[in-house]
Amino acid sequence: MKFITTLLIAFLGFINTAQSANPTATVEYATSTVISELKQIPVEERSATEVQRLVESYILPAIDQQRIAKLALGKHWKKASKGQKIAFIETFRDLQVRTYTGAFKAFNGQEFEFKAAKFNKSGKKAIVKGHMTQPSGQRIPIDFKLYVNKQQEWKIYDAVIAGLGMVKTYRQQLSEQLQRKSLDEIITGMRGQIQTAQR
């Protein structure tokens, strides 16, 4: 289950939202493109460097890292200094790159299907519902939440996987940690995880 959750969270980054004004078309295009590239590389030949290249090419441009970081910290965001906010966003991004890279290396034929996007009244937010089918036939629901930024690009700011909200999960974990540690200590701990993964 841990692998499935990690893999699904990784697919959050597949959506290269600047390429389509339609959220569903954006999701479908990006997932099929990344999966196509992964299929060309046998699992045993997927080096961390090559997979990280895919992550940096397809994931980072798609996600509003600042928005996710702000939502993840919740009420603690306002208490953080400007320097802490910048450090948290950058470290949070780097940690996710490592998580995504590990998940992509383990990709083994999952298939995705998405429905037409549902928009809010203003048309500036949308939810794209879909599911992932495992090679075993198990279907896992996935919802992607997108919004239109000032550049009129669709950006991902959350994902709900099998009923588990990514941002909500991060917020709960960080809130618990912030009861025992300072934000600086949490950032230091995240950097330690990144260094450990690089060894």
- Tens of pLDDT, residue by residue over 97-122, are 887 777 777 788 888 899 999 999 99
What CATH number does residue 133 fall under? 3.10.450.710
Q: Token digits for 108?
A: 């083994």
Q: How many CA atoms lie within 13 A of 33 on its CB side?
A: 16
Q: What's the pLDDT score for residue 50?
A: 86
Enumerate residues 6+ apart whose C-beta is below 8 A from 152.
21
- pLDDT tens per residue, range 83-93: 999 999 999 99
pLDDT of residue 18 exceeding 60, the answer is no
Number of domains the chain contains: 1
Decide if 17 contacts 28 (C-beta within 8 A).
no
Q: Which amino acid is at 134?
A: Q
How many CB atoms within 10 Å of residue 36?
9
- What is the Cα–Cα distance from 188 to 71, expressed in whole angstroms? 20
Specify the range with the lowest mean pLDDT, choosing from 49-58, 113-122, 137-146, 164-173: 49-58
Q: What's the pLDDT score for residue 124?
A: 92
pLDDT band of residue 44 (cuts 50, 70, 90) is: confident
Range of the domain at 59: 2-198
